[in-house]
Chains A and B, each alone.
Chain A
Amino acid sequence: MKPTNTNDPEYFHKVVDCQYACPAHTPVPEYIRLIAAGRYEDAYMVNWESNVFPGILGRTCDRPCEPACRRGRVEDKPVAICRLKRVCADKKADVSARMPKIPRQKNGFKLGLIGAGPSALTVARDLMPLGYEIDLFEATASAGGFMRQQIPSFRLPDEVIDEETGYILDMGVNAHFNTRIESMKELLKEGYDAIFVGSGAPSGRPLPLSGYEIDKGENIQVGVEWLAQVAFDHITEAPVDVIVIGGGNTAMDCCRTAIRLGAKNVKVLIRTPINAMVASPWEIEDALAEGIPILENHNPLEYILKDGKLAAMKFEIIEYSVDDEGREVFTPTGQMETIDCSLVLLAIGQANAFPWIERDIGIEFGDAGLAVVDEVTFQSTNPKVFFGGDAAFGPKNIITAVAQGHAAALSLDMFCNGQDMRDRPEPGTNLISQKMGIHDWSYASMVTEEERHLVPHVNLDEAIHSHKIEVELGFDKDVALEEAERCLNCDVATIFTENKCIECDACVDICPVDCLTFAENDEEAKLRRNLTVPALNLGQDIFVSDHLKTGRVMVKDEDVCLHCGLCAERCPTSAWDMQKFLYISTKAGQQA
């Protein structure tokens, strides 16, 4: 193998599993250390720079970082990254003074943003400090989009949304609430330098079985729309018997909201087995903990109405399997089941709809009802119109919308300034040695054996009587410190200098997880097998040094390195050093 090029910013970035997995590449270990140090404001700002909504995401993020966490490969459970993020949002003092200054002198460019959800707000956050003038159009009365309308208050209180959307609106965004854009053609005539569409994936999919037409949407409702009605207090109660169809997070939100609105008998029905549900495991756990049964392998057949009013729903039991090509196969068994209900909530996915974008204005549309959008620049086929968030590539999650907002903002800035949007600036990186003394590092190199902490919940009886009481309480400061200490500091990279190494084996002998080997160089597959412990996790890279004095190379398997720094402590010549690698993904206005 050729020597590893550690100057490639992505090499060490990939070692920081959590940050690499995060769509916005938030420097997770960096803010966790700040939380451990009690510097909640600093931790919050590290988050805010990167993911814009730390308080919201600390409660509702899909957490792609946690399954990626190295701790999960070393012991059982990952660090509770998401809940730590919430700690810095909850415990911080006022940070308004630390928000970017908005120039009075504008740069002369005017942008139109459609929708006040996470992606459009991120665009505003990135471009307001650069002097852009921004008009923001929102169909409802307040900012937040998906976060406000479709995540119930018992998971995400309004105050948190108000605060974090407020930081951006207070930058001087011209926000037009209760203003639905009915025609893109008309908007284009307003003379904006560019337009960003962040209107989300607003319509839930209906399930038009027999009986659906007769009900006319009275008691058979699309879940996301019903949740939005609850969020705006247009719906305040639910009937006794409620059926929720679907196995995603929206279904979990629907059933838990229904219970809080007075339903006594809520059931979730899904076509798959429970273990094939798409909802996050913790959402499923929370629903089950509130006594809501999830009935698996039920295929909905028809709505049963009595005297024109919904009375029950008929299902067929099916057998679930996955074929050789990974497709789901549903085999009917012929066994039927009828379940009484007076409200059905449909949570079987969302569909995009852009009836307000005319098809003759240069914006091409593809198959799924979505505009054709460039995956790098987020530009549509009309050069002035950009898309981001769920409106660009279909429903994903908040953190993805934020990441796309950052990327789109960069494109918008480059577009307005006449730069090539494909020639994007490199991410910012920095390596700083953490050595303080012989056995002393400026990070907590000791690896704690503390197990993952559970988040305390409010009393269940209390919780299910209101859809406004937040169920999770968040960590207190002491637990947060203990949880933060579980972080392995994967961003503190092991840096190897070939010409200092005397091949004394000290690092190899001390490494607790046997990830270092002096080996004869070979092709990667063979080298991986010949290590002290074979490097079988192909998802993780191996580091290969240049040739050493004996002709051998140093090989490090990155898979389960604890970043404990013992290799560097036991190295007599400082051929190993522990250096903090900071990776800041590119944002608008940040280029050198």
Chain B
Amino acid sequence: MSYKIPTFRHPNLPKNDLGFTSKDYEGAVSTLCAGCGHDSISAAIIEACFEMSIPPHRVAKLSGIGCSSKTPTYFLGNSHGFNSVHGRMPSVATGANMANRDLLYIGVSGDGDTASIGMGQFIHAVRRNVNMVYICENNGVYGLTKGQDSATTDMGSISKKGEPNPLEPIDLCAISLQLGASFVANSFSGDKKQLIPIIKAAILHQGFAFINVISPCVTFNNVPGSTKGYDYIRQHMASTNTVDFVPPADEITTEYDPGTSEQVTMHDGSVINLHKIDDELDIHVRRSALKRIKDYKMEDKVLTGVLFIDEESKEVHETMNTTDVPLRSLTEKELCPGAASLEDINNLHR
């Protein structure tokens, strides 16, 4: 009975620096369809947070509406959560982040929640560079309403209903790049080896980290003519790079050939190693990423991996010059600095 999972775990389960096992990062048992790509993404988030020894109570997970937006229930059961209105997760995340900049914000959305009803919200979170991880679980179909084509369905793709999609799709990675996102990656739910290090890098990135994850819908969009089914993605997937993640405490022991690998140092001192597969992509140049996405699409291929990083970007708190601490830790002393301070301010305007 899959609504209840046994409590026993493998007795040799490894522990992280906090003494937790991956069990401490699990959530409730998924109620999504068996074989849904979204469950693999939840498992990847669990594994990334476990391996990075993130204290679960320092995470806030946010979502909108849709199959994807149900998933925060299925990971990090000991973290904060907010299931918002359809497409409005970016605003809630922005507000929460403004109030408490100390938490790690993981937003989970889908192609409907992001590219249709929430498009207006999404693009503003990108351009503000809100410090959060934004994962779009993209299956190119409205699964919760029985399988209509979504705004990210490729032109000509055939879902279970059998009709080819006549409209141009929205490419969320390309749009994020154009709007100034400071971290953009594309990945596949069926490739955890790639997805887990990307999530880790996104967590460490200061600013808006967007990960588009192609996540097949086994019920409505895993048929031969679909461009978002398991078989299609496996046959057409191309990688810009493979990613290794080296935590700040660990010494980099592997020797990398300078021509084929690039090391990006994150703000906390940890390093991501990108093993280049595509020589033409420069992940620090926005235009290069946009070009390569188009080039691969012309060849009928899906480009995955880290597409762009700006590790020097200014996140929204810096831009807005907000307080350094969460609002809840401000006391009367800071909030009511007294008559002398008021006088100083008034003098500025005289």
Contact = CB atoms under 8 A, between A and B. Distances in A.
A550 B234 contact: yes
Nearest to A75: B8
Nearest to B46: A509
A505 B13 contact: no
B37 interface: yes
Contact of A506 (B9, B29, B34): B34
B111 interface: no
Given A509-B43, A533-B10, A533-B14, 8 more contacts: A446-B6, A447-B7, A502-B35, A505-B190, A510-B5, A514-B10, A549-B234, A573-B35
Interface string A500-522: 00111110111011110000000
Interface string A58-92: 00000000000000011100000000000000000
B39 A506 contact: yes
A495 B140 CA distance: 33
Those 3 A-B pairs whose CB atoms lie nearest each other, nearest first: A572-B35, A447-B6, A509-B43
Contact of B10 (A449, A509, A550, A560): A560
Contacts of B30: 510, 570
A564 interface: yes
A466 B4 CA distance: 50
Interface in A487-505: 502-505
Interface string B23-34: 000000110011
A74 B231 contact: no
B221 to A, nearest CB: 12
Contacts of A549: 231, 234
A95 interface: no
A19 interface: no
A357 to B, nearest CB: 52
B72 interface: no
A502 B230 contact: yes
Given A503-B230, A504-B216, A506-B34, A512 B2 contact: no
B2 A446 contact: no
Given A504-B35, A571-B35, A572-B218, A562 B230 contact: no
Interface string A295-310: 0000000000000000
Residue among B10, B29, B33, B234 having the largest count of chain A Cβ atoms under 10 Å: B10
A566 B9 contact: no
B13 A514 contact: yes
Contacts of A503: 190, 230, 234
Contacts of B5: 510, 512, 564, 566
A504 B43 contact: no
B234 A570 contact: no
B13 A570 contact: no
Contacts of A566: 2, 5
A374 B121 CA distance: 82
B42 interface: yes
B192 interface: yes
**Secondary structure dominating the interface of B:** loop
A536 interface: yes
Contacts of A502: 35, 218, 222, 230-231
A449 B4 CA distance: 13
B229 to A, nearest CB: 9
Contacts of B37: 504
B1 interface: yes
Interface in B217-245: 218, 222, 230-231, 234
Contact of B12 (A439, A445, A508, A534): A534
A483 interface: no
A573 B230 CA distance: 13
Contact of B192 (A505, A560, A569): A505
Nearest to B2: A569
**Secondary structure dominating the interface of A:** loop
A504 B6 contact: no
B248 to A, nearest CB: 26
A297 B160 CA distance: 77
B116 interface: no
A570 B37 CA distance: 12
A82 B68 CA distance: 49
A439 B43 contact: no
B10 A513 contact: yes
Contacts of A508: 43
Given A502-B35, A506-B36, A562-B6, A533 B13 contact: yes
A181 to B, nearest CB: 54
Contacts of B192: 505
- Counting chain A residues whose Cβ lies within 8 A of the other chain, the interface size class is 35 or more
A31 to B, nearest CB: 23
Nearest to A71: B8
A506 B234 contact: no
12 contacts: A446-B4, A505-B40, A509-B39, A510-B29, A512-B9, A513-B9, A533-B14, A550-B234, A560-B8, A566-B2, A570-B30, A570-B35
A548 to B, nearest CB: 11
Contacts of B230: 502-504
Contacts of B2: 439, 510, 566, 569-570
A572 B34 contact: yes
A191 B79 CA distance: 83
Contacts of B39: 505-506, 509-510, 570
A553 B166 CA distance: 38
Nearest to B8: A74
A440 B1 CA distance: 7
A562 B40 CA distance: 21
Contacts of B190: 503-505
Contact of A560 (B11, B40, B218): B11
Contact of A570 (B10, B34, B189, B231): B34
B284 to A, nearest CB: 32
A439 B36 contact: no
Contacts of A446: 1, 4, 6
Contacts of A570: 2, 30, 34-35, 39
Contacts of A440: 1
A191 to B, nearest CB: 61
B34 A569 contact: yes
A436 to B, nearest CB: 11
Contacts of A573: 35
Nearest to A566: B2
Given A502-B230, A562-B8, A509 B34 contact: no
B8 A439 contact: no
Interface string B43-76: 1000000000000000000000000000000000
A113 to B, nearest CB: 48
B6 A564 contact: yes
Interface in A400-444: 439-440
Nearest to A534: B12
Contacts of A449: 7
A450 to B, nearest CB: 12
Residue among B6, B40, B216, B231 having the largest count of chain A Cβ atoms under 10 Å: B6
Contacts of A562: 6, 8
A512 B5 CA distance: 7
A356 B228 CA distance: 83
A468 B4 CA distance: 48
B157 to A, nearest CB: 18
Nearest to B3: A439
Residue among A74, A446, A505, A550 having the largest count of chain B Cβ atoms under 10 Å: A505
Contacts of B222: 502
B9 A514 contact: yes
Given A515-B10, A536-B12, A550-B234, A439 B35 contact: no
A534 B14 CA distance: 10
Interface in A121-139: none
Contacts of A505: 39-40, 43, 189-190, 192
A487 B299 CA distance: 56
A534 B189 CA distance: 23
A27 B286 CA distance: 66
Given A513-B10, A562-B8, A564-B6, A506 B35 contact: yes
